Structure 1
Amino acid sequence: MINAKYNMIIIKGEIKTREIVSCQYNRNTKKWDVEFNNGKKYSYSYLNVQKLKDPQILNPKMYRISRDGREFFNIKAIYVFTGKHESYWHICFNNGSTTDYRQSDLDIVESCFNHKQSANVFEYLKQIAALNDIKNEETNEKLLSKRFEKISFVSKNIALAKYLNPSLLKANESKNEYIPIFPFGCNNSQYKAVKNAMENQISVIQGPPRTGKTQTILNIIANILMKGKTVQIVSNNNSATENIFDKLSSNKYNLGFIVATLGNSKNKKMFIENQEINYP
């Protein structure tokens, strides 16, 4: 029986490891002699067989894996074999079952914590958060520390990963230039700010009072919504987020229905209770 943890047999592009008792290359015939579990033996030309060894062993906590929209859970171990044209994954689950996949058949998301710098910076932030005394008014728990403790996985594709490790940050590589919309109007600097925000994962917009930062935020929101995505607006004070909501819900725009004013549990409860059946 082939040890599937350390060997992967590919015959004519198909994973056959589980079906094979032995697979040996015959130097005399220059063919692969393969014996199957049912006792049958066949010889294959050299190019039709790949016998892969020395897999890369991955930490399952550092990966989120799914196939056809269904995420895998309770993964115990991952072995990755590198073939001629693609890689193959041997996945072991906690219940003792194992399955082999082509890498191209899987949706794989790696955590940025798999990189030492990202993990170290995040650990530093966790320690800083533990020193912060901001507490939940109802439970008296430290808010930041509790939030950080819940985070065990951060996709390397999201903006936070680039913040933790700026070397992962790449400029916009899209071949098609993004042309933003401006339903709230703009000037030249606001145009550049919105365009940069839509073309990059991290964008910093700075300006003194009354230079149109709120207007710029509204235009960014509009562009994100037009792409079929949602937006989270956060701030270190309520007045800033309330200002955005007030602008959208004003008589001039009447767009308050697209906003969910959340935050603390009181706001969430109020939002749910005040939902209306009909929307514009």
Structure 2
Amino acid sequence: MTDPSPSLAGKTLFISGASRGIGKAIALRAAQDGANIAIIAKTSDPNPKLPGTIHSAATEIEAAGGKALALAVDIRDEAAIADAVARTLETFGGIDIVINNASAISLSTTAETPMKRFDLMVGINTRGTFAVTQACLPALRKAANPHILTLSPPPSLDPRWFGPHVAYTISKMGMSLCVLGWAEEFREAGIAANALWPRTVIDTAALRMLGGAVKPEFCRKPEIVADAAHAILTRDARACTGHFFLDDEVLAEEGITDLTAYAVSPGHPLLPDLFLE
């Protein structure tokens, strides 16, 4: 059975990295429909370098019309993920949608990447994405229109994306290869597995952690990714799987072609995101 409604009302979303940035924007868009959001993130106490905690995100989600469950989880810890899934099921009764958004970034060369940083990126990006999805699978199999949506780029073997930052690229492409495999593995079960990536750089706190390499005026707001995600997640899971979507293409399919409102500085040139032509 599929859900023909273009709304996420009553749906339960399990979102990694939902305390800020794109993850929180997706949560807030779903909350406007009256969705339930399990906020899966590490930040439970305020961080002077990165604004937003699971608790502040929960407050915003409830104010937007949704129901929130704030869960402090390091997705490198499968026991913590299992506990978070159990608490989500206890609170909301099911999981309809998994958003693999949590990600670590370091645009460093091989010589400049400490193994601790390599392990962090692979552990959160590739392994964490796999672990979260695996833990949610039993609940997804029972859902009416189950979706897995991963924030990762179209798969590529273009050397120019690997040369400057091998470790980060491997970790992000690992996420994308998970999507490729899951779309096939779960096709008969009717569980959609798709990826979503922004056409341009998105203005988030993570961007500012890169030391000002990209200024906000060259970016779009996280809401463009959130609106694209909403469009994907309200589609029939059996008819929409195995895609590597770009945010502007999804919105164009929905009839939205004027993207001016999503720009941080309308009229300013925009920088394309990594891994795109």
Q: TM-score, normalised by structure 2?
A: 0.23
Between structures 1 and 2, the one with greater strand share:
1
Larger radius of gyration: 1
Between structures 1 and 2, the one with greater helix share:
2
